[in-house]
Homo-oligomer: A and B are copies of this chain.
């Protein structure tokens, strides 16, 4: 069988990695796929010729992405430009032209996936997006195909490497957020504009996709509650560790009686949990299904070749299903389009979690009684309490509390009242706590 012809859009980090992997492992990939895979046409605004050796001598490279999308020889378009404007227009045009699509673009899928998949379905083509979530970890395949037997209860993932790197450094070296971030930027681990990573937006894109596939709901990026790690104080990282927990930026989506939770925020995770031990830039996704129980998927969540690994796996998958009638292919969002559900997404006030609280209090009789009475009124029960030693000469002592599960609404009310108490100073620090058991 003659090689399948690929059109490649973008030759940056992931595009370069894809070229290199397809070139280096060409023979081994063809031995698996039963067919060669050939990049026949590529477009990029610019690319580093040192990164991709001699590429322009073997394939046609231009700056015209539309020429690639309209090239009749090209059967599969691999979109590695990123962003959700030009990339969207190019993909929609490629679909109109009957091309199969492979993309690593999480923002695009999270925000415009519903429309893109509908267009693809109408045209009978596939849009594959394994590389959009957790880089090289085949988590989309695991959820969409490996766990089809299960009613999924919840997913919790460390799905942003930069945020995980920062929190790992804060814990292991006692450094503060700004210092680690600055170093990560200097080393190229973090983007010049780190907002997407540290504010949880990138993780929210990925969580949107995971939730949709797990529960058969439309992609609803705008409904994700998103909170970053920029406000995490090293003292809380240290106190959490003393209590047997690690603070991680997690994406959590949960199927509860009243609907679907969809939230990205820092959380305390118990140390014995594997997820708490995923350090540095690594990613991991923990899935709880009713039949399988807990399964965890771990690996590099970003980077040139790990992401390319997922892109190329998608290309092989697409090649394999070219002759399959579209209704026998794996549905884009795991569930058949007509079988999607409209389960409501809960607001963060409706979400129930346990909490870690840190207050600065005066070490006086009756202070604790006042706080405990407010918590009791709001139905919040205390799991553990620790009064730290008073720093020399300080009037205020840190008081740490772990609570049982309660709705965010009740916790908000309680904190608002506690902050008005005379012997409590400043704001209450509040970080959610997830036991992650079934």
How many copies make up the complex? 2
**Complexed CA–CA distance, A148 and B136 (Å):** 11
Asked if A356 is at the interface (CB within 8 A of a chain B CB), the reply is: no
Asked if A427 is at the interface (CB within 8 A of a chain B CB), the reply is: no
Q: Contacts of A316 on B, CB cut-off 8 Å?
A: 145, 148-149
Which of A91-99, A105-113, A181-189, A334-342 contacts its partner?
A334-342
| Interface size range on A against B | 35 or more
Report A290-304 CB contacts with B as 1/0, cut-off 8 Å. 111111111110000
Instruction: Report whether B141 and A146 are in contact in the complex, using a CB–CB cutoff of 8 Å.
Output: yes
Residue of A32, A300, A321, A331 contacting most chain B CB atoms (<10 Å):
A32
Instruction: Report whether B317 and A145 are in contact in the complex, using a CB–CB cutoff of 8 Å.
Output: yes
Instruction: Report whether A21 and B295 are in contact in the complex, using a CB–CB cutoff of 8 Å.
Output: no
Instruction: Report whether B309 and A300 are in contact in the complex, using a CB–CB cutoff of 8 Å.
Output: no
Instruction: Report whether B309 and A320 are in contact in the complex, using a CB–CB cutoff of 8 Å.
Output: no
Q: How many Å from the CB of A132 to the closest CB on chain B? A: 14
Asked if A33 is at the interface (CB within 8 A of a chain B CB), the reply is: yes
Q: Contacts of A138 on B, CB cut-off 8 Å?
A: 141-142, 145-147, 295
Which of A195-203, A322-330, A405-413 contacts its partner?
A322-330
Q: Contacts of A364 on B, CB cut-off 8 Å?
A: none
Contact of A148 (CB < 8 Å), options: B33, B289, B327: B33
Within 8 A of B (CB), among A136-157: 136-138, 141-142, 145-151
**Complexed CA–CA distance, A300 and B321 (Å):** 31
Instruction: Report whether A323 and B325 are in contact in the complex, using a CB–CB cutoff of 8 Å.
Output: yes
Q: How many Å from the CB of A133 to the closest CB on chain B? A: 12
Residues of A within 8 A of B (CB): 17, 21-22, 24-25, 28-29, 31-34, 130, 136-138, 141-142, 145-151, 216, 274, 277-278, 284, 289-300, 305-306, 308-313, 316-317, 320-325, 327-331, 334-336, 339
Supply 23 A–B pairs (Cβ within 8 Å), ascending by A. Answer: A21-B291, A25-B150, A25-B290, A32-B334, A32-B335, A33-B148, A130-B146, A136-B293, A137-B295, A138-B141, A138-B295, A141-B145, A145-B316, A149-B309, A149-B310, A150-B309, A274-B298, A289-B309, A291-B309, A291-B312, A292-B305, A295-B299, A295-B300
